[in-house]
């Protein structure tokens, strides 16, 4: 899978995803660390990347525009440590692959993972 990791998610998440065989970039790698959400959304859509973020605005932007791409993984966990986020991704990405490929917002909370299909 191809990912674009947004601020304030750590660059370590992107580094780990790359090390485990994914194509992952952090927004800072592209000079987008201070970019508007819409610019990040457009870049992810152009490059067919899944956005990993803590910013709820991406879901709103996608739903308002009626878009089905790009998919978004939204972390809403209290524990925002990279180690915790990496563990959740390692554990659940295989089961989320089909939804993320077809277009979805995946919300990862403390006790649940919700999937909302786009489009």
Q: Provide the residue ranges of all domains of the chain, joining segments of one domain with +.
A: 2-117
Q: What is the pTM of this model?
A: 0.96
Report the distance separating Cα 20 and Cα 22, nearest Å: 6
The per-residue pLDDT for range 25-35, each reduced to its tens digit, is: 999 999 999 99
Report the distance separating Cα 92 and Cα 69, nearest Å: 20
Fold of 2-117: Rossmann fold (3.40.50)
The per-residue pLDDT for range 69-83, each reduced to its tens digit, is: 999 999 999 999 999
Report the distance separating Cα 68 and Cα 70, nearest Å: 6
């Amino acid at each position: 899978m191809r990912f674009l990791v947004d601020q304030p998610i750590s660059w370590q998440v992107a580094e780990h995803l790359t090390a485990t065989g994914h194509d992952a970039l952090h927004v800072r790698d592209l000079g987008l660390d201070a970019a508007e959400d819409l610019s990040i959304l457009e870049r992810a859509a152009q490059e067919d990347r899944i956005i990993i973020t803590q910013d709820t605005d991406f879901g709103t932007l996608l739903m308002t525009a009626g878009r089905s791409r790009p998919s978004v993984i939204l972390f809403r966990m209290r524990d925002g440590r990279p180690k915790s986020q990496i563990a959740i991704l390692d554990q659940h990405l295989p089961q989320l692959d089909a939804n993320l490929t077809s277009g979805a917002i995946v919300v990862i909370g403390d006790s649940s993972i919700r999937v909302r299909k786009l489009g």
